[in-house]
Each structure stands twice: as C-alpha cells, then as structure tokens.
Amino acid sequence: MKMKKFTAILLTAMMVLSLAACGGEHEAPDNTEPPRTGTGDTQTPDTTPEKAPSEPSEASEGGKRILVAYFSATNNTEGIAQKLAEGLGADIYEITPSEPYTNADLDYGNSKSRSSVEMDDPSARPEISGAVENMEQYDVVFIGYPIWWGEAPRIMSTFIESYDFSGKMLVAFCTSASSGFGRSDSALRSAASGATWLDGHRFSANASADDVMAWANGLGIN
Ligand SMILES: Cc1cc2nc3c(=O)[nH]c(=O)nc-3n(C[C@H](O)[C@H](O)[C@H](O)COP(=O)(O)O)c2cc1C
C-alpha cells in the first residue's frame, strides 16, 4: 500500500516536471525578443530598413508606416529623400518620368525648353514610369521635389492625382537654388484635399542628415 502511494506521488511529480519542461520550450522568457513568426529560420534579425515600395517595411515611427516619395532631376532632392527615409526607417520611392529630363529639357533660360513649356501649362501631366503598388498601406507620405519656377514640377501633380490619399498625412519637402518653400505645394494640396497636410520645408542641396531629421522629428507624426 505504502509502495503504491509512493509510486503515485513519484508519477505525479514526474508528470508535473515534464509539463513544466514542455512549457519552457514554447514560452519565451520575458527578457528575450518575441520569435519572428512564420520563418522558422535562425538568422540574426535584419536591421536594414526595407526599401521596396511593393512591400512596406515593418519599421515605422510610432507604429506608422511611412513612405518617402520624391522626384529629382539632378539628384539634389534625392539626397535629402535618402537621409529622410534612412532616419525614419521609411520606404523610399523615386518618381521616375517615362521620358527622362535631359539637360536641354531643364534649361530654364530657354522659354521653349520642356520644363518651361510644362511649367507654363498648369494642366501638363508628364507621365510617370511605374507606380507605388501598395499606397493604401501607408499612413504618412513625404513628398519631395525640386522647386521649378517657385512651384512643384508638374510631374508631382501626375503623382498626387494617381492615388487616393484620403485620411493619410502628407508633408512636402523641396530643394531649390535659393527660393523658399513658399506655396510650392498648393496645387498638390488641392489635388489631395482629403489628406492632412503638414507644413512643408525647403532644404539646400547640401543639408545634413541631422538637419533633415531635426525637421522630421519636429513634425509630431509619431
Ligand atoms: C526648370 C528649373 C526651374 C528652376 N526654378 C527655380 C526657382 O524658381 N527657384 C530656385 O531657387 N531654384 C530653381 N531651380 C533650381 C532647382 O530647384 C535646384 O537646383 C534643385 O535643388 C534641383 O533639385 P534636383 O537635383 O532634385 O532636381 C530650377 C531648376 C530648374 C531645372
């Protein structure tokens, strides 16, 4: 009888111990990162922000998914866009004209150059090559462009009119030789009036990452 009781206690103890051990296999201790689901891999976490606009990154400010979309004819705005996207852990998308701008196209001293003709015509809509496939997944979109005759280039209107930005937060930034930001985003604001627009900002071409992030962090988007 005594022997049976001892065996029962021993068996119970063994079951409790084995259940505790099983639990330990599946529950991560409090001080470790939660396991990445679905991959089953053992790679170290990749801290590089995802850049492909077709697959929004997990990285975001305050849980917000952010896209930096920009057009840049001579790479000045591109430099600012890259600093911004890197600092925010945002995705980045280049607005690429179907027909690239040549130096002759950009000749603002020539009233017949492509850029002059486009800027003389508020209804001009230069075609864009490619698209952001998943715009609906972004909460905040930064929109970068060079100032052309005090305005955003017409291709920016093509971009804005291509998507539904309702309910999103939009904020423009630009580079210029000397002009201020002014009302350069006014046509864009009208075309996406269902969005919440924050005040935009003008950068010089050589603005530092610190300059760019001081502005971005002051916007209160997170
Ligand atoms: C057609 C055209 C018009 C421009 N108009 C202005 C202007 O009104 N004010 C200004 O300060 N800079 C003006 N610029 C200079 C650009 O805004 C400046 O070089 C900008 O940094 C270029 O950016 P990107 O390299 O991203 O294209 C103009 C440039 C071009 C090509």
DSSP one-letter string for the chain: -HHHHHHHHHHHHHHHHHHHHHHHHHSPPTTSPPPPTTT---PPP--SPP--TTS--S--BTTB-EEEEE--SSSHHHHHHHHHHHHHT-EEEE-EESSPPPTTTT-TT-TTSHHHHHHH-TT----EES--TTGGG-SEEEEEEE-BTTB--HHHHHHHTTS--TT-EEEEEEE-SS---TTTTHHHHHHTTTSEEEEEEEE-TT--HHHHHHHHHTT---
Which atom of ligand 1 is closest in space to residue 146's alpha carbon?
Answer: 23
CA dihedral 161, 167, 169, 175 (to 10 degrees): 10
Answer whether residue 134 is part of any domain: yes
At residue 12, does pLDDT exceed 70?
A: no
Best probe residue, ligand 1, of 114, 148, 173, 181 (max atoms within 8 Å of C-beta): 148
Q: How many domains does the chain have?
A: 1
At residue 105, does pLDDT exceed 50?
A: yes
Best probe residue, ligand 1, of 108, 120, 206 (max atoms within 8 Å of C-beta): 108
In this prediction the pTM is: 0.78
Answer whether residue 17 is part of any domain: no
Domain enclosing residue 154, as ranges: 66-217
HSE on the CB side for 150, CA within 13 Å?
4
Answer whether residue 53 is part of any domain: no
Taking only the tens place, the pLDDT of each residue in 110-125 is 999 999 999 999 999 9
At residue 218, does pLDDT exceed 90?
A: yes
| pLDDT confidence of residue 63 | 85
What mean pLDDT is predicted for residues 136-164?
98
Which atom of ligand 1 is closest in space to residue 72's alpha carbon?
Answer: 26
Cα of 136 from ligand 1 centre, angstroms: 31
Q: Give percent above pLDDT 70 in the chain.
A: 72
At residue 4, does pLDDT exceed 80?
A: no
Answer whether residue 132 is part of any domain: yes
Higher pLDDT pick, 44 / 124: 124
| pLDDT confidence of residue 54 | 53
Answer whether residue 157 is part of any domain: yes
Answer whether residue 35 is part of any domain: no
Residue located nearest, by CA, to atom 20 of ligand 1? 176
Answer whether residue 5 is part of any domain: no
At residue 1, does pLDDT exceed 90?
A: no
Where is mean pLDDT largest: 11-15, 43-47, 194-198? 194-198
CATH number for 81: 3.40.50.360
Cα of 148 from ligand 1 centre, angstroms: 5
Answer whether residue 222 is part of any domain: no
At residue 40, does pLDDT exceed 90?
A: no
